[in-house]
Structure formats: C-alpha cells, structure tokens
Amino acid sequence: MKTELEAVQDLFLSDEFSKISSYSTNFDLFKMMGIRSKELIHSNILAALLNPSYAHGLNYSFLNSFTLGIVNLHRESGEPLSLSTLISSTDQNVRIYRELENIDLVIEYQDSNLLIAIENKIWAKEQPDQVARYQEILLTRYPKHHLALVYLSPNGRKPTTLNRDSKTPIYCMSYGQIAKQLELVQSKGNELSKYFISQFISHIEAYMTGSNEVNELCWQIFSKHEDAYAQMVKAYQYCQRRKVEECFLDIESRIKTDAAFSKFSDEIEIIKAVEESSKYVITYDLDVRLKSWPQGVMIKLYKYGWLGVFPYVTAEFRYTAKEISKKLGCYPNRQVKAWHHMYYISSNLNLDKERKVNSDGNSISMEDINIVLNKLSVHIEEINSALQ
C-alpha cells in the first residue's frame, strides 16, 4: 500500500496533472494586467461587445444573443418579459449607459421601449438594499418601459437585497452563460476581436466558472489518485496561508531593499500582525511609517478578504495630524470603513474603493505585490510632501 507521500508524488507525475497544470501557465491577458476580478473592467468589456456600432465586427449578433437569452435565465422575482418583446427588440440600435445612478450597465432599446439593466458582481458583496434600490430607480426613470434587471455573477447566484414585490423583475445570469453566448458569435467578429473574445472566454472559464475540459481532467485525476487528491484538498488552506505569508515576507523585504524606498531606509518602521482566520484563512497587517512622521500616522498594507493599502492616522492622534490633514485637503479626516479607530490621511477622497488591490486577497500575485509597493511609495511621497 502506498504511503501518503508516494500517492502525492504519483499524482504530481501523472499525465493528467501535467495537462491541468498547463492551464495555469497559459498566457492570460487578464491575469497579466491584474484585472481578473475588476468589475469596472468587465463591465466596460461587456458594454463594448453589446454595442453593435463598436469596431468589433459582431454587429448585432452578441446583443441579439444576450437579448433573446433572457428567456432562458432563472427569474428570481417579478413578471417575466414576454418573448414577443424580446424578439421585437433584436437588430435594434440601442443606447448603452455605464454607471447610470451607479447601475453597472443599462441597455435602452428605444424602438421597443425595452430596458435591461445589468448589475455586475464578480466577488464583491451587495451593499444594503442595493438591488431593491436599483429596481426603484429603473421604475422611476423609465415608467413606460418594459424593464428587467440581470444580476450577473460568476456562478449565477441569487441577489439578497432585491425587493420581491417590485415590478422590475430580477434575472440571474452566470459568466459561464456569457461565455457560451460569445462562443456562438465569436466567428462573426474581426480578427482582433476574435482573439480578444477568445482570451475573455478562457479567462471566464479559468477564473470564474471552470470549463468542461478542466472538469474532466479533474475527474480523471480524482479517479486515478483519489487518496492523493484528498491530501491536496486537506492541505489547500495550509498552502493558501503559506502563499500569503511568503508574499508578505517578500513585500517586507522589498520595502527594506527596493530602490524606490532607499532614501527612507533608515527611517522606515514596520509593525507586523499575522493571525489564522476561519473566515479569511489568514489575516496579515503591515503598518508602515517613517520615524519623522507625527505619532499615529501610518500606511496599512493588509490582507483580510481584500488585499489593500491605505494611509491613516489613529483616532488617538488625529489632532496631532491636523495640519498635515489640512494640507492634504482631508480635514476633518474621514473614518476608514471597517477600521473604526482609523481615519484616512490622504488627498484621495475615494479610498474606500481605491485602497483595494485585489478583492480576493488569498489569490495575491506578483502583479498585486508590485501594485501594493507602488501604492505604498505614492502614499509615503504624499505624506512627506505635506510635511515639508
């Protein structure tokens, strides 16, 4: 009988493992650019592909596929759109709005008085009453239109903040369904768009939904190496913790050695806090400051659910940082969301969103590390300039 170590070694050397490993080494445009979970970018892509006048060569094909595909989506609430309304809305010029009253995408079919909104949620959670609020916005702005709100997520999950009594119906859609629709129309695009759509579909399958080919390889590995598979599953959280720890050790080392921080090297102080977490697997904090800064002023590099960076002053020392806060235009200081004893100290007044580097901190990558260090450098320079 094989030992656990021998079983894992056999799995590692198997042909199936080599094939599935190739998926992580394939060129991934979205991973390379650090935008795999960026909802803004994905919404921009969808807006362009759904726009028949955009220079992708798809004409109305993807828009029509999406429009008619509404009938096959799970409807979570409200009365359904009629098939006749959807059919009459094909091959129509549309207006596509981005961030209309914070709704990610709104498609207005002018000739048929149809309006379909898309709320795009990759991994982020809903805000309080978010979907219900959007349902009411659509009813108020478009009282004479046929309405629908499509809640788009990686797995087609149901929204939790909808109003079931609203006349705006809610449909649930997965990114896998988007990928299938794009596969059907991809050949109609021009050469550049065909390559990009291929990358987009691969990104969806690899990062969000999984493909049939990958699932089949996983089944083959499981069938032949079940004991080793089980060992790897059991060790998954250990591997996640170790990855995060090693990434933050790399960040800490680079703060001390990178040329970008060399002029501060004698002044840099780093306070570290690490904890295992049932919710986040591991939490990691690096609080960075220069010795010459006012007491309580720091920059936090953190991994909880998010990986992120923000400059702050502690509640205890807000008054001592009053002058620097005024110079930065952030006085009185705003409280940091989820850190109630900390207050932002930056000219950037949108840090509740822009402090985020990756919404899935456990998937931290080398690209993310570079972004973290760049943000740290920018915040240090800004605080130093305000102190001069």
Summarised one tens digit per residue, pLDDT across range 296-305 is 999 999 999 9
158 close to 190: Cβ distance less than 8 angstroms: no
pLDDT at 123: 76
pLDDT at 231: 84
Nearest to 146 by CA among 163, 132, 167, 162: 167
Query: How far is residue 229's CA from residue 233's CA, in Å, rounded to a whole number?
Result: 6
71 close to 86: Cβ distance less than 8 angstroms: yes
Orientation angle between helical segments 366-387 and 236-257, nearest 10 degrees:
40
pLDDT below 50 — which residues of the chain?
Answer: none
pLDDT at 9: 74
Strands 297-303, 281-290: pairing is antiparallel
Nearest to 302 by CA among 351, 238, 365, 358: 358
pLDDT at 359: 87
Region at 156 (left for phi over 0; alpha for psi -120 to 50; beta for the rest): left
Query: How far is residue 249's CA from residue 339's CA, in Å, rounded to a whole number?
Result: 23
Query: How far is residue 47's CA from residue 134's CA, in Å, rounded to a whole number?
Result: 18
122 close to 154: Cβ distance less than 8 angstroms: yes
Per-residue model confidence as pLDDT tens digits over 141-158:
999 999 999 999 988 999
Query: What DSSP element (H or E) covers 356?
Result: strand 356-358
The pTM of this model reads 0.61
pLDDT at 30: 66
